[in-house]
């Protein structure tokens, strides 16, 4: 019981720190780096919870947060999400995960990010009669397995592909994650006596070995008088994550917090909560990087199939406008 009290106190402290530190440093920024689209929150449920999802990760968004959470999947899962963004930008994903024997799961995931298109101009600002767009793709093979009652492991094997006019770059890399089910360290009778349930912690390392290699030779041959092929490598910063989550009020209230840190930028703190006011209807809220988030979720049962429809709303930041995220998860 002493260990559980320490864990509970630590969870409360981390949640408190999340709100305090975020409110102080949310508007500070220290630059952008390759793979920025991988940091944009996607998936309505995690977005509504402020992006605090590393220790939850049990739906179609899990490959983007912590694949280890998929080890508990009992039925095949199809998930998709779309984020409505300003400035003609798009962001969405499609996931398919299938459970296999011995508490394991395997699947595939596709994340797409598009910048829209803009008119090309020369150095004098005159139109050139063509458009420029920038698109990113990440394809992943996902594997997760629960090795013990209190421990699971997951990995994404990724292929990244980015395109601009006459220029493209590709990279391979991987993400790894682990999930610890801390309440499983106790006897079942003791677990049922606790006011807090499903205490989980997560560790992740993402963007390992992801490096884009660019070559502008084809572009310069077609669009400029400079026929020299310039080459450049852009490394996606490796990101480390720590997350905690637990359920209260007979498992109706879920509270989660994440701390993220990559090689180039300052730490980011995320916090969120989910409350089921009825068996099939949930309300969510969170706080992340100076933005309040909110959302809802509704669960439909169609025979044996379960359909989850989730929605998230993010408040305005830096005059970019508010954004909306929609997700659909089908277990069959």
- pLDDT above 90 for 30: no
Q: How far apart are CA 244 and CA 16, in angstroms?
A: 13
**140 confidence band (pLDDT: 50, 70, 90):** very high
- pLDDT above 80 for 317: no
Output DSSP code: residue 18.
H
**16 confidence band (pLDDT: 50, 70, 90):** very low
pLDDT for the residue 121:
72
Structural domain boundaries, residue 187? 2-120+129-331
pLDDT for the residue 123:
66
Q: How far apart are CA 49 and CA 71, in angstroms?
A: 22
Q: Count up the domains in the chain and report the number.
A: 1
**278 confidence band (pLDDT: 50, 70, 90):** very high
Residues 246-262 pLDDT 10s:
999 999 999 999 999 99
**227 confidence band (pLDDT: 50, 70, 90):** low
Output DSSP code: residue 238.
P
Interstrand relation of 253-262 and 268-278 (parallel, antiparallel or unpaired)? antiparallel
- Region 295-324: what's the mean pLDDT? 85
Please tell me the pTM assigned to this model.
Answer: 0.84
- Region 169-192: what's the mean pLDDT? 91
Are the C-beta atoms of 111 and 138 separated by less than 8 Å? yes
Are the C-beta atoms of 286 and 49 separated by less than 8 Å? yes
pLDDT for the residue 36:
86
**19 confidence band (pLDDT: 50, 70, 90):** very low
Query: Token pair of 277, please?
Result: 């006011």
Are the C-beta atoms of 174 and 156 separated by less than 8 Å? yes
**104 confidence band (pLDDT: 50, 70, 90):** very high
Q: How far apart are CA 138 and CA 38, in angstroms?
A: 9
Q: How far is CA 206 from CA 165, 209, 231, 284, 305, in A?
A: 29, 9, 25, 26, 32
Work out the percent of the chain whose per-residue pLDDT is above 90: 58
pLDDT for the residue 217:
64
Q: What is the pLDDT of the chain when averaged over all its residues?
A: 85
pLDDT for the residue 320:
58
Query: Token pair of 26, please?
Result: 């949310």
Q: What is the CATH number of the domain that holds 34?
A: 2.40.160.60
- pLDDT above 70 for 170: yes
Q: How far is CA 85 from CA 40, 62, 123, 131, 332, in A?
A: 11, 22, 29, 20, 31
């Amino acid at each position: 019981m002493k260990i559980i009290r320490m864990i509970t106190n630590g969870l409360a402290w981390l949640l408190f720190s999340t709100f305090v530190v975020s409110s102080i440093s949310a508007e500070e920024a220290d630059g952008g780096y390759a793979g920025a689209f991988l940091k944009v929150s996607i998936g309505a449920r995690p977005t509504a919870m402020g992006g605090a999802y590393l220790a939850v990760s049990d739906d179609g968004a899990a490959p983007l947060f912590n694949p280890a959470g998929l080890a508990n999947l009992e039925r095949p899962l199809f998930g998709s999400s779309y984020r409505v963004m300003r400035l003609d930008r798009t962001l969405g994903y499609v996931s398919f995960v299938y459970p296999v024997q011995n508490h394991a799961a395997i699947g595939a995931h596709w994340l797409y990010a598009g910048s829209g298109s803009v008119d090309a101009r020369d150095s004098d600002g005159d139109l050139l009669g063509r458009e420029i767009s920038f698109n990113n793709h990440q394809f992943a093979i996902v594997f997760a397995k629960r090795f013990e009652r209190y421990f699971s492991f997951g990995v994404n094997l990724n292929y990244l592909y980015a395109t601009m006019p006459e220029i493209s770059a590709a990279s391979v890399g991987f993400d790894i994650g682990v999930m610890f089910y801390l309440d499983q360290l106790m006897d079942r009778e003791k677990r049922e006596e606790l006011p807090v349930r499903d205490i989980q912690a997560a560790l992740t390392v993402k963007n390992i070995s992801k490096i884009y290699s660019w070559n502008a030779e084809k572009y310069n041959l077609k669009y400029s008088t400079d026929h020299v092929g310039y080459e450049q490598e852009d490394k996606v910063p490796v990101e480390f994550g720590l997350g905690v989550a637990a359920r209260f009020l007979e498992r109706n209230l879920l509270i989660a917090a994440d701390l993220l840190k990559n090689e180039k930028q300052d730490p980011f703190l995320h916090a969120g909560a989910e409350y089921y006011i009825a068996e099939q209807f949930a309300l969510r809220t969170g706080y992340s990087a100076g933005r309040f988030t909110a959302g809802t979720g509704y669960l439909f049962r169609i025979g044996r199939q379960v359909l989850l429809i989730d929605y998230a709303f993010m408040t305005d930041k830096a005059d970019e406008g508010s954004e909306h995220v929609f997700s659909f998860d089908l277990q069959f």
